[in-house]
């Protein structure tokens, strides 16, 4: 076979085509590769020129913003790399509040004002009615949260932004000569053989909806909505959290339970997983760090389990033992969880890291039967960016140590191998995640093939437990999945266990 070599120009053309490929993980990998090529000693200049030409050719605001991400990634990877901001601004023919935010991340002194970035059509006539197609498919081509937040802005700001969004969408459809059809949904969102589906899809119509979303936010800014509000809402159109993008997936930890029995022996497999969890709990005494939260898939071919480990501080004040499922429901998002969610004060709507807002342990303490329970870790709010390029990080809650574990404020910083949690004096914990067979597709009804774990210094856990006169323990929730045939849906069953809980009644 003849060895066929392609030119750098052809290779870049192919990469840029992948930047708008419907499968979002393909887009992310293309963007990463373009960022690396910008740093290449021989190909950097050609990549820069080609990428600027691509940005100049984009007529949709959301796609023009994608063109800035390789520059941002190159700047994040190599601080000495200088992004050609002036050339980017010259090439940018479809600016938006999102591109303004991204430019701020590159150089806060750029010359594009927020008002100049806010392109939109005229105000929709009062008698304009959204087309049935727009209304019917808005939550198919975009995540439902976009429509929810537009409704919220309309309610809080008292402006008809939903109508304007539909008007901007109709304007772009006409401008680009697109005939709306559900064919893209049928092709990319269909159920694949074996119950599989694509992990995440952004089609051309998705970008029309998203660009119209950005234009509607720009219009809201012109109607007097505070620029800060418009910027935070526009951040939802960013496909990646710039901070989380720094954090690489790690190998699956050697301590994470695995299936060692032949597939099909469900009862034996579950018992073996529980034995591994018990051994993990017993081994924690010799470690300097303690797992305070972990969750992830355990699988082998057609056998699937999902394990959640939640660290709790607990004490017993009477003879009544609670139903463990009730505690699991509470910590997993039940009705009484508002105070459990960690909030971060962030400097940018596109960045995950920041300072954890203080929590009061007396307020967070909950009673279940005769147990008092306090979580050692809590789910954390995301930045305003919706990192759909890292879908596994939004399909499961991300957990970080509770703020009351330390006497001083906790600072969350994203680093290449982990999210690091520090006080002003020292590091107290780390969050990692891993992939375990993560691919372009996933199975309906099965959690993503990934996992996460939060470790906290053992001395911090022990000191807090002594101060509060509580016992540190684990609440573990194991979910098994099974189906009778590939054409059937998966069914699930759950088991709960605790390790280290105290049954001594506290006076």
Q: Would you state the pLDDT for residue 262?
A: 59
Q: Would you state the pLDDT for residue 333?
A: 63
Instruction: Say if CB 226 and CB 159 are below 8 A apart.
Output: no
Mark out the alpha helices in 432-480 (DSSP H runs).
458-468
Q: Would you state the pLDDT for residue 187?
A: 86
Instruction: Say if CB 449 and CB 461 are below 8 A apart.
Output: no
Residue 363 sits in the same domain as residue 494: yes
Residue 311 sits in the same domain as residue 270: yes
Residue 220 sits in the same domain as residue 284: no
Model confidence pLDDT, tens digit, residues 330-347 = 887 643 455 578 999 999
Residue 327 sits in the same domain as residue 344: yes
Least confident range of 384-388, 461-465, 499-503: 384-388
As a dihedral over the C-alpha atoms of residue 295, residue 300, residue 301, residue 302, rounded to 10 degrees, the angle is: -60
The two structure tokens encoding residue 176: 């680009």
The answer to whether residue 122 sits within a structural domain is no
The answer to whether residue 211 sits within a structural domain is yes
Q: Would you state the pLDDT for residue 334?
A: 43
The answer to whether residue 127 sits within a structural domain is no
Residue 396 sits in the same domain as residue 326: yes
Residue 54 sits in the same domain as residue 141: no
Residue 102 sits in the same domain as residue 140: no
Angle, helix 204-222 to helix 132-141, in steps of 10 degrees: 110
- pTM of the predicted model as reported, rounded to 2 decimal places: 0.92
Using alpha carbons, select from 365, 399, 38, 60 the residue that is nearest to residue 207.
Answer: 60
Q: What is the mean pLDDT of residues 436-456?
A: 91
Q: Would you state the pLDDT for residue 483?
A: 85
Q: What is the domain range of residue 446?
A: 246-499
Model confidence pLDDT, tens digit, residues 392-423 = 998 888 999 999 999 999 999 999 999 999 99
Q: Would you state the pLDDT for residue 195?
A: 74
Residue 303 sits in the same domain as residue 448: yes
Model confidence pLDDT, tens digit, residues 480-493 = 998 877 777 889 99
Q: Which of 63, 84, 117 is the last residue before a domain boundary? A: 117
Instruction: Say if CB 63 and CB 98 are below 8 A apart.
Output: no
Structural domains in the chain (count): 3
Q: Which residues pair with 479 in a beta bridge?
A: 306, 494
Residue 192 has pLDDT above 90, yes or no: no
Residue 35 sits in the same domain as residue 87: yes
Angle, helix 8-18 to helix 44-57, in steps of 10 degrees: 40
The two structure tokens encoding residue 170: 């109709």
Residue 304 sits in the same domain as residue 348: yes
Q: Would you state the pLDDT for residue 1?
A: 37
Q: Which of 86, 117, 148 is the last residue before a domain boundary? A: 117
Mark out the alpha helices in 107-234 (DSSP H runs).
114-117, 132-141, 144-157, 161-176, 183-188, 204-222, 227-234
Instruction: Say if CB 340 and CB 354 are below 8 A apart.
Output: no
- pLDDT, averaged across the chain: 92
Model confidence pLDDT, tens digit, residues 57-76 = 999 999 999 999 999 999 99
Q: What is the mean pLDDT of residues 360-371?
A: 93
Residue 387 sits in the same domain as residue 279: yes
Cα–Cα distance for residue pair 343/461, rounded to 1 Å: 21
């Amino acid at each position: 076979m003849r060895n066929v070599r392609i030119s750098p120009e052809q290779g870049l053309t192919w990469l840029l085509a992948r930047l708008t490929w419907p499968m979002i993980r393909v887009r992310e990998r293309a963007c990463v590769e373009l960022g690396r090529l910008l740093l290449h000693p021989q190909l950097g200049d050609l990549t820069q020129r080609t990428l600027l030409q691509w940005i100049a050719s984009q007529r949709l605001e959301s796609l023009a913003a994608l063109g800035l991400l390789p520059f941002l990634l190159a700047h994040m990877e190599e601080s000495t790399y200088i992004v050609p901001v002036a050339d980017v601004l010259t090439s940018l023919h479809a600016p938006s509040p999102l591109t303004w935010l991204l430019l701020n991340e590159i150089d806060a002194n750029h010359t594009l004002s927020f008002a100049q970035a806010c392109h939109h059509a005229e105000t929709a006539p009062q008698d304009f009615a959204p087309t049935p197609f727009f209304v019917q498919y808005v939550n198919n081509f975009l995540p439902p949260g976009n429509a929810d937040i537009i409704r919220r802005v309309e309610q809080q700001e008292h402006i008809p932004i939903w109508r304007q969004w539909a008007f901007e969408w109709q304007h772009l459809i006409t401008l680009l000569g697109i005939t709306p059809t559900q064919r893209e949904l049928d092709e990319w969102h269909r159920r694949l053989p074996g119950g599989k589906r694509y992990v995440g899809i952004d089609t051309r119509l998705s970008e029309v909806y998203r660009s119209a979303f950005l234009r509607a936010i720009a219009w809201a800014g012109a109607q007097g909505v505070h620029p800060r509000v418009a910027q935070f809402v526009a951040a939802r159109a960013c496909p990646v959290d710039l901070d989380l993008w720094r954090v690489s997936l790690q190998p699956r930890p050697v301590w994470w339970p695995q299936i060692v029995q032949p597939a099909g022996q469900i009862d034996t497999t579950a018992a073996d997983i529980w034995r591994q969890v018990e051994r993990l709990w017993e081994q924690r005494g010799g470690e300097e760090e303690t797992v305070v939260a972990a969750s992830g898939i355990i699988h082998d071919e057609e056998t699937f389990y999902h394990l959640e480990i939640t660290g709790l501080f607990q004490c017993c004040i009477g003879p009544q033992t609670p139903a463990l499922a009730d505690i699991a429901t509470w910590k997993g998002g039940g009705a009484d969880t508002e105070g459990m969610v960690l909030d971060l004060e962030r400097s940018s709507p596109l960045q995950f890291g920041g300072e954890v807002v203080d929590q009061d342990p007396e307020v967070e303490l909950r009673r279940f039967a005769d147990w008092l329970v306090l979580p050692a870790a809590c789910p954390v709010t995301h930045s305003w960016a919706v990192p759909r390029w890292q879908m596994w990080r939004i399909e499961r809650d991300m957990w970080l140590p509770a703020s009351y574990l330390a006497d001083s404020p906790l600072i969350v910083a994203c680093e290449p191998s982990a999210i690091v949690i520090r006080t002003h004096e020292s590091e107290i914990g780390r969050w990692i995640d891993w992939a375990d067979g993560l691919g372009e597709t996933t199975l309906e009804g099965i959690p993503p093939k990934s996992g996460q774990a939060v470790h906290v210094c053992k001395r911090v856990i022990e000191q807090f437990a002594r101060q509060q006169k509580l016992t540190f323990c684990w609440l573990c929730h194991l979910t098994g999945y099974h189906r009778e045939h590939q054409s059937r849906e998966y069914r699930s069953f759950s088991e709960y266990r605790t390790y280290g809980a105290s049954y001594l009644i506290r006076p």
